[in-house]
Structure 1
Amino acid sequence: MSEDKPWPDTIRAGECEQHEPLVRRVLAPNPSPYTFTGTQTWIVGAGSDVAVIDPGPTGSGMSIGDPPDANGTGHVDAILRATQGQRVAAILCTHTHRDHSPAAAPLQAATGAPIIGCAPLALTDDGPRADSAFDPDYAPDHVLADGERVAGDGWTLEAVATPGHTSNHLCFALVESGALFTGDHVMAWSTSVVSPPDGDMAAYMASLSKLYERSDRVYYPAHGPAVTKPRQLVRGMLGHRRQRERQILRELEKGAAVIPVMVGHMYKGLDPRLTGAAGRSVLAHLLDLKARGLVRAHEEQWELA
């Protein structure tokens, strides 16, 4: 999709849209302040078989229960319609938040395809989640290592390890076209939430730098429009995170502070529904700064070291 195409007025949940010869997209019906228009399931392949990336949510992973899509049925049915006449050869998940991986199991039951990609992860977080927490039932048949490939009729996907948003996050590079499926690691509509204890700011920054050194032509994220100038966006995201870090240090130069107060000063005009997520990202920055010996914590207060 071109970045100058109207967004999101032209898209509807459940409809299959062609983005390039080997890439189609089906939007899940789970819009929210955290998922934008919903989770995007990517279908790779134009021949006898295909791969499905991020099959999406079911049930509690939907923002409003389990609503029907534009054609009156569920998201798994929409994927099956989009792949009719082709064999689903692989179901790949970038990570295991509940808006990404739960539909892998029913899709596997319907197609017999193996679930591969990221490692399983089930954590109990101690703060508000931006994407409905983790999928405890995710059970992959095979976990892809960084650089490992899976291939089908005319397509090859290579795993690119990108921890940070979650410790198990993977991107997938489509070798034949130069596209990169970035999950929640890089999105054009919003920065990714990095929420401890599993989210790690140092790892996230390292993963951004890793992508900056690549030469991918286009990014297809799990939420929001395609990114047609990937390195420019990643450079901006690295700068944005460094700016947030400097903001935090300036806040603490005024004296010890708690996270909610810092969020109020740093995120002017923020949607109140997003304050919890902002606080988690501030915490991730603080933990990184603490590991580098720049700040310290006393109970819930933070101060310069």
Structure 2
Amino acid sequence: MAKIPEKPWPTGKTEQLEALVRRVLAPNPSPYTYTGTQTYLVGGNDGLAVIDPGPAEPAHLEALYEAIGDAPVLAIMCTHTHRDHSPAAAPLKEKTGAPLVGCAPLRPQGGHGEFRADEALDVDYEPDRVMEDGEAMTGPGWTLRAVATPGHVSNHLCFALEESGALFTGDHVMGWSTSVVIPPDGDMGQYMDSLEKLNGREDTVYYPAHGPQVDKPRQLIRGMIGHRRQRENQIVRILGEGPATIAEGLVPKMYKGLDPKLVKAAGMSVMAHLLDMERRGLAVRSGDTWQTI
């Protein structure tokens, strides 16, 4: 993971990225969110879409209201329902009357050991319209088409701005780090398939929810695919030395010098790799201990 840059950050400021796209940074920096969640406004004074409204922080909502001004909001669109992405949708909808469209709601389905499936989810999210892969939301001079990208979570969508070639990638592809894939809803096999799906597209720039824009999308995607394959190879190599647990055997060898705040996230990603390998007949577990077949 990249180091979080020194302040000042453009928190609360409206940044013009291209003719149809502006960005507002939320005040929720952390080791998981980088400098914070980035909300995007697509369109102009005759009609906007708001992508990933972010956390329901009063300061962020005020910054969004100022950025929106008198422009009608035609849609509030969420890539997924982690709590740093969708909670502001409800107050923004109440303020503007705009419909909430995009990803499906997601409810917790249990967990694996200490990993709770609901701890990061916005369980109050209730969309007016769920977008399927390939469906579009349109406004004056803009078209946002849904691209289903499950893996980080099962309900994750990206949104393609057809007029410019931009892709809003949420947490599927971030500008500063690879995504954490958290079982049981996060699925490493789906995540890899979704990366391959984006690798086959012709998007010209990525606007992620965290970190800087990505100006060489396919180069980054190929690097991410290679990184995940390298992680799996690490697991195979370590388990080749004998059975091991995630916390004591795998994470310390795979993530040397890791920030203690990120140890749990690393364990989740290792678990996601192992579950994918288990489905593919490459690994087996006994209790908390894993070994290759």
What TM-score results when the alignment is normalised by the length of structure 2?
0.95
User: Residues 130 and 120 of structure 1: is their aligned pair in 2 closer, same or farther, counting only changes over 3 Å?
Assistant: closer
Deviates more, 1:156-165 or 1:128-137: 128-137
- Alignment deviations for residues 67-88 of structure 1 (CA, whole Å, 9 cap, x no partner): xxxxxx5211111110102001
Q: By how many angstroms is 1:129 displaced? A: 7.1
- Alignment deviations for residues 235-285 of structure 1 (CA, whole Å, 9 cap, x no partner): 000000000000000010000000012000000111010000000000000
Whole-angstrom distance in 2 between the partners of 1:242 and 1:129 = 26
Q: By how many angstroms is 1:188 displaced? A: 2.2
- Alignment deviations for residues 34-73 of structure 1 (CA, whole Å, 9 cap, x no partner): 0000000000012400000000012xxxxxxx5xxxxxx5
Q: Does 1:153 align with 2:140?
A: yes
Q: Which residue of 2 aligns with 1:78?
A: 63
> Superposition RMSD on alpha carbons, in Å?
1.6
When the two structures are aligned, how many residues end up with a matched partner?
Answer: 287
Give ranges in structure 1 of 5+ residues lacking alignment.
1-5, 59-65, 67-72
Whole-angstrom distance in 1 between the partners of 2:118 and 2:211 = 15
Q: By how many angstroms is 1:29 displaced? A: 0.4
Q: By how many angstroms is 1:9 displaced? A: 4.3
Q: Which residue of 2 aligns with 1:142?
A: 129
DSSP 3-state at the match of 1:215: coil
Q: Does 1:286 align with 2:274?
A: yes
**8 Å CA contact 2:74, 2:139 repeated in 1:** yes
Aligned partner (choices 180, 186, 189) of residue 202 of structure 1: 189
Matches within 5 A, 1:134-283: 134-260=121-247, 261-283=249-271
Q: Which residue of 2 aligns with 1:43?
A: 41
Give ranges in structure 2 of 5+ residues lacking alignment.
none
Whole-angstrom distance in 2 between the partners of 1:288 and 1:165 = 13
> Residue type matched to 2:208 in 1?
P
* Shift >4 Å, 4+ stretches: 6-10, 128-132
Whole-angstrom distance in 1 between the partners of 2:193 and 2:75 = 28
Deviates more, 1:212-221 or 1:122-131: 122-131
**8 Å CA contact 1:129, 1:195 repeated in 2:** no
Q: By how many angstroms is 1:15 displaced? A: 0.7
Q: By how many angstroms is 1:109 displaced? A: 0.2
- Alignment deviations for residues 107-160 of structure 1 (CA, whole Å, 9 cap, x no partner): 000000000000000215454579951000000000000000000011110000
Whole-angstrom distance in 1 between the partners of 2:181 and 2:95 = 34
